[in-house]
Structure 1
Amino acid sequence: MTADDDRFDPTADATHFPVAIEWKAMTDDTGDSDAGDTPSDDTPSDDTPSDDTPAAAAPPDDAPESLSLDRFHEALEAEERPLATASEVARRLGTTQSVARDALAALVDRGDVDRLDVESDPVVFYPTDWGRLATRERVVTFPKRREIVVDRPTQFTRARLSQFAHLVDTTGTDPGTRGYLYRIRQEDVWAAPFDDADALIASLRSVLPRRYDHLEGWIRDQWRRAHRFRLYTHQDGYVVLRAASESLMGNVADQHLDTDHLRAPISETEAWVNEDAVAEVKRALYDAGYPVQDDRDLDVGDPVDVDLTTDLRPYQETWVETFLERRSGVYVGPPGSGKTVAAIATIAAVGGETLILVPSRELAEQWREELLAHSTVDPADIGLYHGGRKEIRPITIATYQIAGMDRHRSLFDSRKWGLICFDEAHHVTAPVYSRTAELQSKHRLGLSATPVRETGSEEEIYTLIGQPIGADWDELFEAGFVQEPEVEIRYVPWRDELARNEYASADGRERRRLAAENPAKIEEIRYLLAAHRDKKALVFIEFLDQGKAIADALGVPFVSGETPHYERAELFRRFRDDGARSSAGRDGDAPDGLGTSDAIDTLVVSRVGDEGIDLPNAELAIVASGLGGSRRQGAQRAGRTMRPTGSALVYVLATRGSSEEEFAQRQMRHLARKGVRVRETNVAE
């Protein structure tokens, strides 16, 4: 939904039907929609019985000339969905589609039923008084797709589902009215925190309306797969791979492992593993559908005396407890949810030598400050290992790039790490950083707000580090731990005829650059900054020339990869400073020099501001370009404003009529699926 700039009512698009009404749009991408006239593979035809399909309402003897609301409800219950097409109602009530359509039209005329047209898709019908019907929790299961839709879930239901299912999407705007789409994936079953499959199935049954043999059978099979291979340390010190049976060793391990992965067979079910190939063994068997239990006896190195000095929130305590049980995992949560503090609590709990890997020197310095602020660690026990300093200490903070280099690798390999922490864990799958994942430690911890990569390599992240641990974003928004941002896509027109013509005659990457650098965006940025004069603002760009132009026009500093590290650190420090405000940037003054101690209200930043840089007082984010980037990048930029208190505003500028429109919608759709409200506005010509 879009609106003209001056007439837009932000509440105008706030009316949402329950989640299943949006089911068609949500499942079109996978081709699994049940809303059409043609049954899918998971929707039995009239003459195909299924143990997963409820018994249809008994058909009447004759075609109904009128349809009661109760009979319509029966058809919906049989469909296991709160809406239906005319053909679905006809099938459930044993009549023709034309008769059902006429009967539904009569219900619409009486005001008992509403209809929804979804462009070229079939018209769907749902009860007008759905609000009253949906005041209680409704759980709708699609067992063969292993998906669960829940309207108005209780905290109990959400807590149970989070143990064995992945939150895919949410709809709605107001807390307490949202619908949730969960999917049970094999990796969720593998990582479920239960002692046996029976306990997992009991938890599943506690939230579903009835038993589903097909789904439960699949879950039991996946549980067995997760406990078929085990790595352990032999009493003589070498690593052994044990399979649950001789056939598994012969038919799975031998077929999926290379000859250099195993040194020699020990028995029909055990083999001596090449220690340098442990990571490859785990990855190969994971890809074959058999996650490996890693029970090796690994040293934790010298003890590290660290105590946490900050109280954990309840969900952070759960993260740490879950991690200690598994000895590996990835803390997943929105910016501001306290992943770093939870990681420091984990370091204290493990109590062994720790290596923290980060993507940049700025993050290395920031980690040192966080450790000192939230724990009793001795400053002398913290070492920084990057391009500027080379220190190995009980807690060492290094960049991925340095740790992966051959000339430094042997040093890191020689240490007995009790814990390796991978900050911004999505980096671990990139070729230049992937060698760091082979470093061995007793515990492996990842941190990421959005581990999604456009290559679809989330599973590889979890293979190399551990399974996801975390609360869903929407739960943290509702509990008030993190401020939900207000996100608005603003479609900016071309106001410069020369720029418009240049764009029209260009193609490829040049066209994308011209759309990103639309001169009208500078005036739009100036307008937004003036409208929010009291807020600390970050302006994100992709192209350096555009960043310099915006910074010059606004009279504010520009931070990019070309900015010297000492200058970058000083600018970030002054942005975090809430002392005397500088007038630069809001009135077009030239940027003041680094010699002054004035606070900075506005920074223009390139991709160096996307990840991890702690700017806790950022209240306003304006994305001027970079819309061709990943969904993860969009979430990271929006996340710069997400903190426990205060307002959080994100404006995404997209040139109207260009590919930026689609890119913006794709990036923000990723946030919308996490419960963040996104609205769209057409900026006036």
Structure 2
Amino acid sequence: MPVDRFYDLLEGKARPLVTASEVARELDCTQVEAFDALIGLAKEGHLESLDVEADPTVWFPADWKDTQDRERVVVFPKRREVVVDRPSQFTRAQLSGFAHLVDTNRESGYLYRIREADVWQAPHDSFEALQRSMRQALGQRAEALEEWVQNQWERARKFRLYTHEDGYVVLEAQSPDLLGNVAEQKLESGVLRARISDTEAWVAESKTAELKRALYRAGYPVRDERHLDEGDALDVDLSLSLRPYQTDWVRRFVDTGSGVLVGPPGSGKTVAAMGVMEAVGGETLVLVPGRELAEQWREQLLANTSLTDEQIGLYHGGEKQVRPVTIATYQTAGMDRHRMLFDERRWGLIVYDEVHHIPSPIHRRSAELQTKHRLGLSATPVREDDLEREIFTLVGPPIGTDWEALFDAGYVAEPEIEIRLLPWASEMHQNEYGSAERHERRQVAAANPAKEAEIREILRSHPGAKALIFVEYIEQGDRLAEALNVPFVSGETPHARRRQLFREFKSGPRDALIVSRVGDEGIDLPNAEVAIAASGLGGSRRQGSQRAGRTMRPVGRARMYVLATLGTEEEDFARQRTRHLAGKGVQVRERESVAYAEGTPGRDGGDSNYK
């Protein structure tokens, strides 16, 4: 491909960077041919590339970063923080390779922080490559910061696990001092069985997950280079065609042998996981947080693969079948009396769905199960206890796709997110908030009756749209259900009734549902055109992303409204819950109440009869 053709392509796209998939579509060739052409231009010095959250790679002219006006970037080396004013997709892509988004404000300022784990997991083959990426993103050299990053980079390469030629597991340290003063001091008795050299020790195979956790917490991530059993063979044929980025996910996973697929809701992580099952070709254990999700997995496998009903087993409170493909709940797999059955099987693959649960004590025991391949799935691998780093330690590195790339390609609808700030419905409610304490204050703010009028106004402004109204508190859900004449689905709703309501919402005449936290994950809740978060789980970024994800459809316009009472901590929580989405390039705006604006209809409520 001539370089002039590449520039013409950029001009047609009206942006300075493209992916191989976009080039393939423009040139009417295969993605492999487009990739080879881009590689050729890069070797000639015309192009450079950058992994956007590891996948897909974006390509841009080599002189682009020198000729463009840069955003204003301020570096605080001692705090290891970076503030960027209105960062472009390119800059966000670079920063995501070694930092994480902490906060955004109304003026489009982005605050990033560089943590140890961000450096340990940086998607670069060498420190020099990471250093170049940092200098490009920051537009400057920050020697003190680079020195700290280099120390962390080297720290992440001081220990490794490997399989000895005689079949047992060995921990190798970079020096005798590290083995004696770090590993042997930090690990519990029985993890290391015996030394086999000054820098190597024999590891109890059942304790490898415990070893990796302990050394990670001590500040020394362990490279896992063991040759694990392949597992018993199982032929799986996928009947669906994968999207280009899903194919790349599968390829990257097969290359590494472990990893976590990270993509927005609606991007098809479950389908990609079935593609991984086909590529691995081994008996598979799928772990899920609840029974309903286990049933959904079974239905998806039967509908989209060559697997038969006799090859798929469910293992949870209701059914206990271990078969070539077994779908179990985390809780069951973590119990001693059941784990022995899973340990006896030679799994070729373990899939951890909703993998952000894995760091919790009862769930992470399942990470000790032996397998050749570990695959995690999550749209939001973030935790408010900052234990998300353990996800990648126990399962594998992140394998993700830039959300904005999927929005641009039309695979997923970019949600329009608006934080609505509401006044108190009355002075009485405001006084009640002032006299309450701690958790009670949050509940009073969440239950502000002004939200009822605001929900009416939002529903009125989207006639005929499918709308989901999320609540955190059962009492609030019950009140809204009565006031709006809309069914409320909570954990107390019988499963049969729940399935009926979701079915009516998905394909029937029902336009609105109120759902509690059961709607956040783990159930087949149909996508909606409008999502309204009437109250939420504090500042949980994961919950905010999951609820917005209910509107991420390939077609149409997706809207999410986050309601918050003015002058309360709920206002800050609303901003915090949308922070993960802002870091993915989603625009989040704020405005004051519409229903309570002067002269706006609906302030006084009135009858509602939503289906």
Matches within 5 A, 1:183-194: 185-193=115-123
Give the match for residue 419 of structure 1.
349
The one of 610, 618, 628 aligned to 2:528: 618
Q: Which amino acid aligns with 1:356?
A: V
Give the match for residue 365 of structure 1.
295
Partners of 1:152 and 1:364 lie apart in 2 by 42
Partners of 1:301 and 1:208 lie apart in 2 by 46
Partners of 2:334 and 2:364 lie apart in 1 by 8
Give the match for residue 54 of structure 2.
none
Give the match for residue 237 of structure 1.
167
310-319 or 195-204: bigger deviation: 195-204
The one of 577, 580, 584 aligned to 1:674: 584
SS of alignment partner, residue 388 of structure 1: coil
Residues 422/454 of structure 1: CA separation in 2 closer, same or farther (3 Å cut) = same
Is 1:513 paired with 2:446?
no
The offset of 1:373, in angstroms, is: 4.0
Larger Rg over CA atoms: 1
Give the match for residue 659 of structure 1.
569
Partners of 1:321 and 1:455 lie apart in 2 by 32
Give the match for residue 106 of structure 1.
none
SS of alignment partner, residue 547 of structure 1: helix
The one of 315, 328, 346 aligned to 1:398: 328
Q: Which amino acid aligns with 2:212?
A: K
The offset of 1:211, in angstroms, is: 6.2
Is 1:438 paired with 2:438?
no
Partners of 1:311 and 1:425 lie apart in 2 by 25
TM-score by length of 1: 0.70
The one of 349, 366, 369 aligned to 2:279: 349
Partners of 1:608 and 1:545 lie apart in 2 by 15
TM-score by length of 2: 0.78
| Structure 1 segments unaligned to the other structure (5+ residues) | 1-132, 582-599
The one of 570, 574, 577 aligned to 2:504: 574
Q: Which amino acid aligns with 1:622?
A: I
The one of 189, 202, 213 aligned to 1:259: 189
The offset of 1:647, in angstroms, is: 1.0
Give the match for residue 557 of structure 2.
647
Residues 373/202 of structure 1: CA separation in 2 closer, same or farther (3 Å cut) = farther
Partners of 1:654 and 1:205 lie apart in 2 by 39
Residues 493/151 of structure 1: CA separation in 2 closer, same or farther (3 Å cut) = closer
The offset of 1:641, in angstroms, is: 0.9
Partners of 2:394 and 2:217 lie apart in 1 by 12
Residues 311/179 of structure 1: CA separation in 2 closer, same or farther (3 Å cut) = farther
Partners of 2:194 and 2:211 lie apart in 1 by 14
SS of alignment partner, residue 361 of structure 2: coil
SS of alignment partner, residue 358 of structure 2: helix
Q: Is the 8 A contact 1:515 1:660 kept in 2?
A: yes
Matches within 5 A, 1:520-539: 520-539=450-469
The one of 479, 488, 493 aligned to 1:558: 488
Partners of 2:67 and 2:514 lie apart in 1 by 46
Deviation readout 1:184-225 (Å, 9 max, x if unpaired): 554444445555545555666777757666565555544443
Residues 663/315 of structure 1: CA separation in 2 closer, same or farther (3 Å cut) = same
Partners of 2:71 and 2:545 lie apart in 1 by 30
Partners of 1:360 and 1:673 lie apart in 2 by 29
Q: Which amino acid aligns with 2:592?
A: N
Is 1:466 paired with 2:399?
no
Q: Is the 8 A contact 1:300 1:353 kept in 2?
A: no
Give the match for residue 100 of structure 1.
none
Q: Which amino acid aligns with 1:287?
A: R
Give the match for residue 387 of structure 2.
457
Deviation readout 1:284-321 (Å, 9 max, x if unpaired): 22223322222223223221211333333333333333
Partners of 1:461 and 1:568 lie apart in 2 by 31
Is 1:247 paired with 2:180?
no
Give the match for residue 489 of structure 1.
419
Is 1:383 paired with 2:383?
no
| Structure 2 segments unaligned to the other structure (5+ residues) | 1-65, 598-611
Q: Is the 8 A contact 1:385 1:392 kept in 2?
A: yes
SS of alignment partner, residue 272 of structure 1: strand
The offset of 1:569, in angstroms, is: 2.3
Is 1:165 paired with 2:95?
no
Residues 227/664 of structure 1: CA separation in 2 closer, same or farther (3 Å cut) = closer
Residues 317/180 of structure 1: CA separation in 2 closer, same or farther (3 Å cut) = farther
Give the match for residue 631 of structure 1.
541
The offset of 1:604, in angstroms, is: 1.0
Q: Which amino acid aligns with 1:267?
A: S
The one of 314, 320, 338 aligned to 2:268: 338
The offset of 1:279, in angstroms, is: 0.8
The one of 500, 511, 527 aligned to 1:601: 511
Residues 609/505 of structure 1: CA separation in 2 closer, same or farther (3 Å cut) = same
Partners of 2:108 and 2:406 lie apart in 1 by 14
Q: Is the 8 A contact 1:171 1:675 kept in 2?
A: no
152-161 or 451-460: bigger deviation: 152-161
Q: Is the 8 A contact 1:169 1:674 kept in 2?
A: no
Q: Which amino acid aligns with 1:285?
A: L
The offset of 1:622, in angstroms, is: 1.0
Q: Is the 8 A contact 1:575 1:615 kept in 2?
A: no
Deviation readout 1:498-547 (Å, 9 max, x if unpaired): 54554454433333323322233223222222221221111111121221
Q: Is the 8 A contact 1:261 1:281 kept in 2?
A: yes
Q: Which amino acid aligns with 1:681?
A: R
Residues 140/666 of structure 1: CA separation in 2 closer, same or farther (3 Å cut) = closer
Among all aligned residue pairs of Structure 1 and Structure 2, give the percentage whose two residues are the same amino acid.
61
Residues 439/555 of structure 1: CA separation in 2 closer, same or farther (3 Å cut) = same
Matches within 5 A, 1:306-321: 306-321=236-251
Deviation readout 1:639-673 (Å, 9 max, x if unpaired): 21122221111112223343322322322344333
Give the match for residue 472 of structure 2.
542
Deviation readout 1:410-448 (Å, 9 max, x if unpaired): 112222222222111121122232222222222222222
How many residue pairs get matched?
A: 529
Matches within 5 A, 1:156-305: 164-168=97-101, 185-193=115-123, 195-197=125-127, 217-305=147-235
Residues 223/497 of structure 1: CA separation in 2 closer, same or farther (3 Å cut) = closer
Is 1:324 paired with 2:254?
yes
Partners of 1:184 and 1:503 lie apart in 2 by 37
SS of alignment partner, residue 268 of structure 1: coil
The offset of 1:491, in angstroms, is: 2.5
Give the match for residue 10 of structure 1.
none
Deviation readout 1:387-425 (Å, 9 max, x if unpaired): 222122222111111211222121122222222221111
Q: Is the 8 A contact 2:539 2:572 kept in 1?
A: no
Q: Is the 8 A contact 2:487 2:513 kept in 1?
A: yes
Q: Is the 8 A contact 2:539 2:576 kept in 1?
A: no
